[in-house]
Amino acid sequence: MDGFGVTSAFWGLSALAVGSAVGIIVARNLLHAVLWLILTFIALGGLFITLSADFVAVAQVLVYAGAVGVLVIFAVMLTPNSATGNSETRFFGPGFIVASILSAIMVYVAAATEWQATAPPGFKTTAALIGDALVNQYVLPFEVASVLLIAAMIGALVLVRSDD
């Protein structure tokens, strides 16, 4: 965290992320909530840039804001009356308690951990390093994930296939 630019970007993006995260919860219209969610994803992508993680930032926008956003929209569109018919729920109390406990734990962990602050030497590019690590050091997890995804894809194809 150094310099006026990075600091202001951090605070601006954090405010955007937290504000739109609040928007997700407050919005009664489910599609508005999805739009807030996508804004949160984009703000988090910006935060990754302030951490010099350029590849992760772009992948965040690509995967979350693009692909997951579209997926969620499709899911919402397939649910009848989902956009408007959201009334009060009796799970408000328990949900509030669970959320409070969870956030209390996270805040405690964040405050209790001794973070090692290291100043990175300038803006290093990470895409080549990540690619290198994926096909050398972590090739087995990478291949397992690929096989898993292909299995899921074939499964989805089999499920929706018609019999003709």
Partner 1 sequence: MTALAWYDIRTLANPVAKLLEILRDNFPDWVAYVVSGAIGAAAIGAFLGIAMLSLIWIERKVIGRIQLRYGPNRCGPFGLAQPLADALKLMQKEALTPLVGDKLVFWIAPILIFIPAVLTYGVIPFGERMAVANLNVGLLFIVAIGGTTPLIVFMAGWSSNNKYSLLGAMRTIAMVISYEIPAVVALLSVVVLTSTMDLSGIVEFQRNYNVWNIFLLPLPFVIFLIASLAEVGRTPADIAEAESEIVAGYHTEYSGMKFGLFYAVEMASALALGGIMATLFFGGWWTFGLQLLIPGWLIFLIKMYACYGLFIWARGTLPRLRIDQLLSFSWKFLLPLGLINVVLVAFEVALWAELDAPGIILAPFALINWAMAAALVVGYVRLLNISEAQTPRLAVLTNTVGVINRIPAAEHSNYAVAGD
Q: Least distance to partner 1 from the beta carbon of 55, Å?
A: 6
| φ/ψ of residue 84, rounded to 5 | -120, -30
- The answer to whether 126 and 56 are in contact (CB under 8 A) is yes
Per DSSP, the residues of 49-87 read HHTT-HHHHHHHIIIIIIIIHHHHHHHHHTSTTTTT---
Nearer of residues 111 and 158 to partner 1, judged by Cβ: 158
Asked whether position 31 contacts partner 1 by CB under 8 A, the answer is yes
Q: Which of residues 54-73 bind partner 1 (CB under 8 A)?
A: 54-55, 58-59, 61-62, 65-67, 69-70, 73
Do the beta carbons of residue 14 and residue 47 sit within 8 Å?
yes
Residues that bind partner 1 (CB under 8 A): 3-5, 29, 31-32, 35, 38, 42, 54-55, 58-59, 61-62, 65-67, 69-70, 73-74, 77, 125, 127
